[in-house]
Structure 1
């Protein structure tokens, strides 16, 4: 979830620590950073009274100073905070209840403690005859880490590992080929991580502005921007879900090469277990793509060609392939780190929902698989809205399935088998959405006969939901930002807005999609109560509602007149066929120009005039 969405979700008290942290950094940095000074002048120096949009913009500017400050403070907090940030930065853990984080921490602590005990025995059994065995290398790393930790005590200072020492130890670990799980285990031997007190550690992270804690929901929120910051501090080049994608494209021989290069077992190990074992090693992705995946003596040109194929297999949209191995690896890493928005846009909200539903039908255990892979609570209700909030894209879900499982989906659905099978599945759901859009008017009028004649199988009870979802898809195709995170945050069991369109960080349009079977839509009093309630929820979240937009097959004269005379909210009305004509005009233009402000004129909108001016 983006920082702007988290700021809209939590109250003033819950975001006060973050704002205080930004304020402290600005007071120091403003003396020598003109960009920060300019931004503060716009706010008259009053950060605490700034809007969510202003705070988000300021954070982008102050981020380098914030990152430096956080790095220093985390070093002071010690091993417990480090373990906690490792957990919070993993896929799926950016939104989690406090007690679930505590259980994940306990589980992780026990794994590290068990690994530490294994390593203690291995290091203790080293003999002088061991020249450069596994135990010898671990022993060297253990001795160096122990010296880095305890050398402060000789100078009458608190024992700790400084950032400089940490950097040297990381280089040592790389050259000794000490994997990340072994590093954690050895450090636990020397500076044991506390098993209890997770709540205090969470409060410590909140104090320095790294997490938001909702007291009412007992939930911890870590914005996407902070997760990326954690990864940089950890030296982690890619999220595990993106490394998984890369490994899914590898041949069995390439997976074996990676494991052999780190002296891990390959004989009798299943392909899926090889992938899991590689991820657990915590290897540098650059190391994997530059050295580990290739057999010894592979020509440089063959390596470059393989990376070019990998780019194509991953469907990465790049302007160039790069001329060297290093350039191609950098392009792959950058593209994957910036892929989320493109991947969410690859399918409409309807398409994503249909994909998830279909995959669940094929794999009843899909929700269980996702909960295990992304460390979600078992009782957590998993739907598309929750997946979006956790930044889990349709691509992420498909790559959680093995290649064989993907093949079975393709075969059972009759999807073409040539090319990238995961992309073929995604394309089929994009096509299904387009078919519903083509019959948008019939959907709005609840014309089941017309829909069936077009081979669209929709239950009558689902027509209203389908119309809402397809309306979102049309807005998305018009280039508008349908804000599912905000909609989820303001909705309650009683008040559920259909659509929210973000015009900016603070301005939104509240959309309502209404079907009507016979005649014009005429329920103004009921509809106006609904939308006014949604407006109130949005304003309570710090948003300005620029307009309310109601889409229906057609409107009665009384409905149009009542909307025009309403003094409490600004309401625009748009007929479904008119919205479809606007989309058709948009698609027909080579360089269409469309603004959501065209929906803010009020009253019954003239769709033909809007379409003409795109």
Structure 2
């Protein structure tokens, strides 16, 4: 979930520590940074009274200073904070109940403690005449880590690993090929990680602005921007889900090459276990793509060609491939690190829900797989909104399935088997959304007979929800910013807006989609109460409601007149068939020009005129 959405979700007290952290950093940096000075001047220096939008913009400007401060403070907090941030920055853990974070911590602690005991036995067995084997390498790293930790005590300071020392130890670990789990185990031997006190450690992370804790929901939130920051501090080039995506494309021989290069067992190891073992290594993705993937005799040109093939396998839409091995590696990493928004846009909100529902039917183990891979609570109810909040895209879901499982799903669903199977599945649901858009008018009128004649099988009880979802899909295809994160943040169990369209950081359009079976839509008093409640929720979250847009099959004369005379909120009305005509005109133009401001004129909108001027 983006920072702006988290800020809209939590109350003033719950975001106070984050604002205090920003305030401290601004106080130190403003003297020599003109951009920060200019932004503070806009706020009259009153950060604590700033809107969520202003805080988000300020955070973007001070991010380098914030990251530097966090590095220093995490080093001071010690091994427990490091372990906790490692857990919270993993896929699926950015929104979690505090009790679940404690259970994940306990589980991780047990794994590290067990590995630490194994490492201690291995290090102690090393003899003076032993060749440079695994025990010798681990012993060297252990000795260096112990020295880095204890050297402060000689000058009467608390023993700790500074950020600079950790950087040197990371280089040493890379040169000695000490894997991530072994690094954690050795650190536990030298500086034992406390098993208890997780709540206190969470509060310490909250103090330095890394997490938000909702007391009401007893939930910990880590914004996407903070997750990316923690990955940089950890030296993590890609999220685990993206590394998994890369590994899924490799052949068995290539997976074996990676494991062989780190002296790991490959004989008799199944493909699924090979992938899992590589994930545990913690090896930089750059090293995998440039070295570990290949035998020593493979030339640079052959390695470049293999990365070109990887780009095609991953279906990355790139403007350039890069001329060197390093450039191609960087392009792959950047593309995957910035792919979330485009991957969510591949399917409409309707398409995503349809995909998730169909996958659950054709692969009943899906929820169990996702909960295991993303470390979600067993009793948690999984739905598309929860997945979107965790930044889990349709691509991410499909790559959680093994290649064999994807083949089985394709067979079960009767989808074509040529080409990229995961992409074939996605495209089939994009087509289903297009079919509903083509019959948008019938959907608005709740015309079941027309829908069935078009081979659309839908229950009457589902029509309202489908109409809302297809309306979102149309807005998305018009290039509008349908803000699901904000909608989720402002909605309550009582007040649930259908659509929120972001015009800017501050301005939104509140959209409401209404079906009507017989005649014109005429329920103005009820509808106006609803949209005014939604507008109030948005304004409480620091947004300005530029317009309310109501979409229905047709409107009664009284409804139109009441909307035009309403002085409390600006309301625009748009007939469903008219919205479809606007979309058709948009798609027919080579370079369409369309702005959401065309929906802010008020009263009954003239769709023909809007379509003509696109």
Per the alignment, residue 511 of structure 2 pairs with: 511
Q: Aligned equivalents of 1:471 and 1:167: distance in 2?
A: 51
Per the alignment, residue 385 of structure 2 pairs with: 385
Q: Aligned equivalents of 2:116 and 2:408: distance in 1?
A: 42
CA positional deviation for 1:537: 1.8
TM-score by length of 2: 0.99
Does the CA contact (< 8 Å) of 1:19 and 1:47 recur in 2?
Answer: yes
Per the alignment, residue 428 of structure 1 pairs with: 428
Per the alignment, residue 283 of structure 2 pairs with: 283
Q: Aligned equivalents of 1:93 and 1:613: distance in 2?
A: 46
CA positional deviation for 1:276: 0.7
Alignment of 1:307-322 (within 5 A): 307-322=307-322
Q: Aligned equivalents of 2:581 and 2:387: distance in 1?
A: 32
CA positional deviation for 1:454: 1.3
Partner of 1:548: helix, strand, or coil? strand
Per the alignment, residue 235 of structure 1 pairs with: 235
CA positional deviation for 1:600: 1.1
Does the CA contact (< 8 Å) of 2:257 and 2:292 recur in 1?
Answer: yes
Per the alignment, residue 365 of structure 2 pairs with: 365
Asked if 1:580 corresponds to 2:569, the answer is: no
Does the CA contact (< 8 Å) of 2:53 and 2:542 recur in 1?
Answer: no
Alignment of 1:447-486 (within 5 A): 447-486=447-486
1:260-312 Cα deviation digits (max 9, x unpaired)? 11111111111111101100111110010011111221121111111001011
Q: Aligned equivalents of 1:257 and 1:404: distance in 2?
A: 21
Q: Aligned equivalents of 2:610 and 2:205: distance in 1?
A: 50
1:98-151 Cα deviation digits (max 9, x unpaired)? 111011111111110000011011111111231111111101110111111111
Q: Aligned equivalents of 1:100 and 1:502: distance in 2?
A: 33
Per the alignment, residue 611 of structure 1 pairs with: 611
Per the alignment, residue 333 of structure 2 pairs with: 333
How many residues are aligned here?
A: 614
Per the alignment, residue 15 of structure 2 pairs with: 15
Per the alignment, residue 62 of structure 1 pairs with: 62
Q: Aligned equivalents of 1:126 and 1:297: distance in 2?
A: 33
CA positional deviation for 1:407: 1.0
The runs of 4+ residues in structure 1 deviating greater than 6 Å are none
Does the CA contact (< 8 Å) of 2:490 and 2:537 recur in 1?
Answer: yes
Q: Aligned equivalents of 1:212 and 1:326: distance in 2?
A: 38
Does the CA contact (< 8 Å) of 1:498 and 1:512 recur in 2?
Answer: yes
Q: Aligned equivalents of 1:436 and 1:209: distance in 2?
A: 45
Q: Aligned equivalents of 1:131 and 1:220: distance in 2?
A: 48
Q: Aligned equivalents of 2:34 and 2:156: distance in 1?
A: 41
1:300-350 Cα deviation digits (max 9, x unpaired)? 111111100101111112111111111100000000000000000111000
Alignment of 1:128-147 (within 5 A): 128-147=128-147
CA positional deviation for 1:215: 0.9
Q: Aligned equivalents of 2:214 and 2:543: distance in 1?
A: 19
Query: Structure 2 unaligned runs (5+)?
Result: none
Q: Aligned equivalents of 2:58 and 2:541: distance in 1?
A: 19
Q: Aligned equivalents of 1:440 and 1:335: distance in 2?
A: 35
Q: Aligned equivalents of 1:378 and 1:518: distance in 2?
A: 45
1:358-388 Cα deviation digits (max 9, x unpaired)? 0000111211111111011111111000100
Q: Aligned equivalents of 1:507 and 1:10: distance in 2?
A: 20
Asked if 1:222 corresponds to 2:227, the answer is: no
Does the CA contact (< 8 Å) of 2:514 and 2:551 recur in 1?
Answer: yes
Partner of 1:216: helix, strand, or coil? coil
CA positional deviation for 1:540: 2.1
Per the alignment, residue 36 of structure 1 pairs with: 36
TM-score by length of 1: 0.99
Query: Structure 1 unaligned runs (5+)?
Result: none
Per the alignment, residue 496 of structure 2 pairs with: 496
Q: Aligned equivalents of 1:135 and 1:190: distance in 2?
A: 17
Does the CA contact (< 8 Å) of 2:363 and 2:409 recur in 1?
Answer: no
1:482-515 Cα deviation digits (max 9, x unpaired)? 1111111222222221111111222211111111
Asked if 1:396 corresponds to 2:389, the answer is: no
